[in-house]
Structure 1
Amino acid sequence: MTRTTLRSLVADQVTRLTAAGLAPGGTVALRLPPSLGYVSTLLAAWQLGGQVCLLDHRLTEHEVAAALDRLTPQVLVEADRHPASGLRGFSEIEPVAVPLPGGQPARSPHVLVQLSSGSTGPSKVIARTAADLLRELACYRALSGFPQAGERTVLLSSVVHVLGLVGGLLHGLHSGVRLTVPERMTAAGLLAAIAEDDLPTTVIGVPFHAELLAGVRAPRPLPQLTRIIVAGELTRPGVAAAIGERYGVPLGTMYGMTELGVIATDLTGTLYPGTRPVPGLELRTEGGELHIRRADSPYLGLTDPSRWSDGWLHTRDAAELDRATGLLTVLGRRDSQVSIGGLKVDLTEVEHTLTALPEVREAVVVFDSGAVAAYLVPADGAEVEQIRAGLEHRLAGYKRPRRLSLLPALPRTATGKLLRDPAGLRAAALAER
Structure 2
Amino acid sequence: MIESLDSADDDETALDMFRALVADSPDSPLLDYFDNSLSVDDIDRLSDSLAAGLSDGGFHEGDRLALYLQNVPQYVVTLLAVWKLKGIAVAINPMLTGHEVSKLLADSTPKVLVCLDELFTLGIATAVANSTVTRVITTSPLDWRATIADSSIVANTVDGLDGCEDLSELIKHNDNRKPPHLSPVPDDVAVITYTSGTTGVPKGAMNSHRNVATGGRAYRDWFGLGRDDIILGIAPLFHVTGLSGHIASTLAAGARLILLYRFTVDEVARVVRDKRPTFTVGAITAFIALANSPEVRHADLASLTKVASGGAPVAAATIDNFEDLFGSYIHNVYGMTETTSPVLAVPMNSRAPVGTQTEALSVGVPVITADVAVVGDDGLPVAVGELGEVAVSGPQVITGYWNNPAADAEAFRNGRLLTGDVGYRDDAGWFYLVDRRKDMIIASGYKVWPREVEDTLYKHEAVLEAGVVGQPDDYRGESVMAFVSLRDGFETTPQELIDFCRSRMAAYKYPREVVIVDAIPKTVTGKVLRRELRPGIQPELHRPG
Higher-Rg member (1/2): 2
Amino acid in structure 2 at the alignment position of 1:68:
L
The CA distance in 1 between the partners of 2:535 and 2:289, in whole Å, is 22
Query: Which among 401, 415, 422 is matched to residue 299 of structure 1?
Result: 401
Alpha-carbon contact 2:439-2:449 (below 8 Å) kept: yes
The CA distance in 1 between the partners of 2:70 and 2:262, in whole Å, is 14
Residue 331 of structure 1 deviates from its aligned partner by 2.2
The CA distance in 1 between the partners of 2:259 and 2:479, in whole Å, is 42
- Residue equivalent to 1:381: 491
Where do 1:195-206 residues align within 5 Å? 195-198=273-276, 201-206=278-283
* Length-normalised TM-score, structure 2: 0.71
- Residue equivalent to 1:279: 368
Query: Which among 200, 205, 208 is matched to residue 126 of structure 1?
Result: 205
Alpha-carbon displacement from aligned partner over 1:277-302 (angstroms, at most 9, x marks no partner): 11312222112111113597422221
- Residue equivalent to 2:265: 187
Query: Which among 220, 226, 229 is matched to residue 305 of structure 2?
Result: 226
Residue 80 of structure 1 deviates from its aligned partner by 2.2
Alpha-carbon contact 1:35-1:92 (below 8 Å) kept: no
* More displaced 10-residue stretch of structure 1: 416-425 or 285-294: 416-425
The CA distance in 1 between the partners of 2:231 and 2:192, in whole Å, is 25
User: Structure 1 residues 418, 238: closer, same or farther in 2, change over 3 A?
Assistant: same
- Residue equivalent to 2:85: 48
User: Structure 1 residues 421, 20: closer, same or farther in 2, change over 3 A?
Assistant: farther
- Residue equivalent to 1:337: 440
Residue 408 of structure 1 deviates from its aligned partner by 0.8
Amino acid in structure 2 at the alignment position of 1:281:
A
Residue 72 of structure 1 deviates from its aligned partner by 1.4
Q: Name the SS of the counterpart of 1:23 in structure 2.
A: coil
User: Structure 1 residues 161, 417: closer, same or farther in 2, change over 3 A?
Assistant: same
Whether 1:270 and 2:351 are equivalent positions in the alignment is: yes
User: Structure 1 residues 97, 315: closer, same or farther in 2, change over 3 A?
Assistant: farther
Residue 137 of structure 1 deviates from its aligned partner by 2.3
Residue 205 of structure 1 deviates from its aligned partner by 1.1
The CA distance in 1 between the partners of 2:73 and 2:189, in whole Å, is 24
Whether 1:68 and 2:157 are equivalent positions in the alignment is: no
Alpha-carbon displacement from aligned partner over 1:228-250 (angstroms, at most 9, x marks no partner): 21111112341111112111221
The CA distance in 2 between the partners of 1:237 and 1:223, in whole Å, is 20
Residue 424 of structure 1 deviates from its aligned partner by 7.0
- Residue equivalent to 1:315: 419
Residue 268 of structure 1 deviates from its aligned partner by 4.1
Amino acid in structure 2 at the alignment position of 1:346:
W
- Residue equivalent to 2:475: none
- Residue equivalent to 1:4: 41
The CA distance in 2 between the partners of 1:281 and 1:223, in whole Å, is 31
The CA distance in 1 between the partners of 2:115 and 2:276, in whole Å, is 35
The CA distance in 1 between the partners of 2:227 and 2:535, in whole Å, is 43
User: Structure 1 residues 5, 140: closer, same or farther in 2, change over 3 A?
Assistant: same
User: Structure 1 residues 341, 153: closer, same or farther in 2, change over 3 A?
Assistant: same
Query: Which among 207, 212, 215 is matched to residue 284 of structure 2?
Result: 207
The CA distance in 1 between the partners of 2:263 and 2:69, in whole Å, is 17
- Residue equivalent to 2:50: 13
The CA distance in 1 between the partners of 2:328 and 2:519, in whole Å, is 28
The CA distance in 2 between the partners of 1:211 and 1:83, in whole Å, is 32
* More displaced 10-residue stretch of structure 1: 285-294 or 266-275: 266-275
Amino acid in structure 1 at the alignment position of 2:242:
G
The CA distance in 2 between the partners of 1:43 and 1:347, in whole Å, is 41
- Residue equivalent to 2:509: 399
Alpha-carbon displacement from aligned partner over 1:48-104 (angstroms, at most 9, x marks no partner): 1101111111111000001111111222222223499xxxxx933569569xxxxxx
Amino acid in structure 1 at the alignment position of 2:331:
G
Q: Name the SS of the counterpart of 1:421 in structure 2.
A: helix
* Length-normalised TM-score, structure 1: 0.88
* More displaced 10-residue stretch of structure 1: 179-188 or 44-53: 179-188
- Residue equivalent to 2:331: 252
The CA distance in 1 between the partners of 2:191 and 2:430, in whole Å, is 30
Alpha-carbon contact 1:172-1:179 (below 8 Å) kept: yes
Amino acid in structure 1 at the alignment position of 2:501:
L
Alpha-carbon contact 2:195-2:202 (below 8 Å) kept: yes
Residue 414 of structure 1 deviates from its aligned partner by 4.4
Residue 321 of structure 1 deviates from its aligned partner by 2.2
Alpha-carbon contact 2:440-2:449 (below 8 Å) kept: yes
The CA distance in 1 between the partners of 2:525 and 2:324, in whole Å, is 28
Where do 1:66-215 residues align within 5 Å? 66-82=103-119, 91-92=141-142, 109-143=188-222, 145-182=223-260, 185-198=263-276, 201-215=278-292
User: Structure 1 residues 264, 31: closer, same or farther in 2, change over 3 A?
Assistant: same
The CA distance in 1 between the partners of 2:483 and 2:421, in whole Å, is 22
Amino acid in structure 2 at the alignment position of 1:338:
I
User: Structure 1 residues 406, 243: closer, same or farther in 2, change over 3 A?
Assistant: same
Amino acid in structure 1 at the alignment position of 2:318:
V
The CA distance in 1 between the partners of 2:280 and 2:463, in whole Å, is 26
Alpha-carbon contact 1:338-1:345 (below 8 Å) kept: yes
Residue 11 of structure 1 deviates from its aligned partner by 2.3
Alpha-carbon displacement from aligned partner over 1:245-285 (angstroms, at most 9, x marks no partner): 11122111110111112101114451233311113122221
Alpha-carbon contact 1:147-1:153 (below 8 Å) kept: no
Q: Note the residue ranges of structure 1 that are not aligned, 5 or more in a row.
A: 85-89, 99-107
* More displaced 10-residue stretch of structure 1: 280-289 or 410-419: 410-419
Alpha-carbon contact 2:231-2:257 (below 8 Å) kept: yes
Instruction: Pick 1 or 2: higher relative contact order, CA cutoff 8 A, min separation 6.
Output: 2
* More displaced 10-residue stretch of structure 1: 366-375 or 171-180: 366-375
Amino acid in structure 1 at the alignment position of 2:258:
T
The CA distance in 1 between the partners of 2:86 and 2:256, in whole Å, is 27
Amino acid in structure 1 at the alignment position of 2:290:
L
Alpha-carbon displacement from aligned partner over 1:7-65 (angstroms, at most 9, x marks no partner): 22212321332244211121221112221121111110111110111111111100000
Amino acid in structure 1 at the alignment position of 2:61:
P
- Residue equivalent to 1:409: 519
The CA distance in 1 between the partners of 2:206 and 2:165, in whole Å, is 22
User: Structure 1 residues 146, 192: closer, same or farther in 2, change over 3 A?
Assistant: farther
Alpha-carbon contact 2:298-2:325 (below 8 Å) kept: no
Amino acid in structure 2 at the alignment position of 1:307:
A
Q: Name the SS of the counterpart of 1:413 in structure 2.
A: coil
Residue 416 of structure 1 deviates from its aligned partner by 4.5
Whether 1:371 and 2:479 are equivalent positions in the alignment is: yes
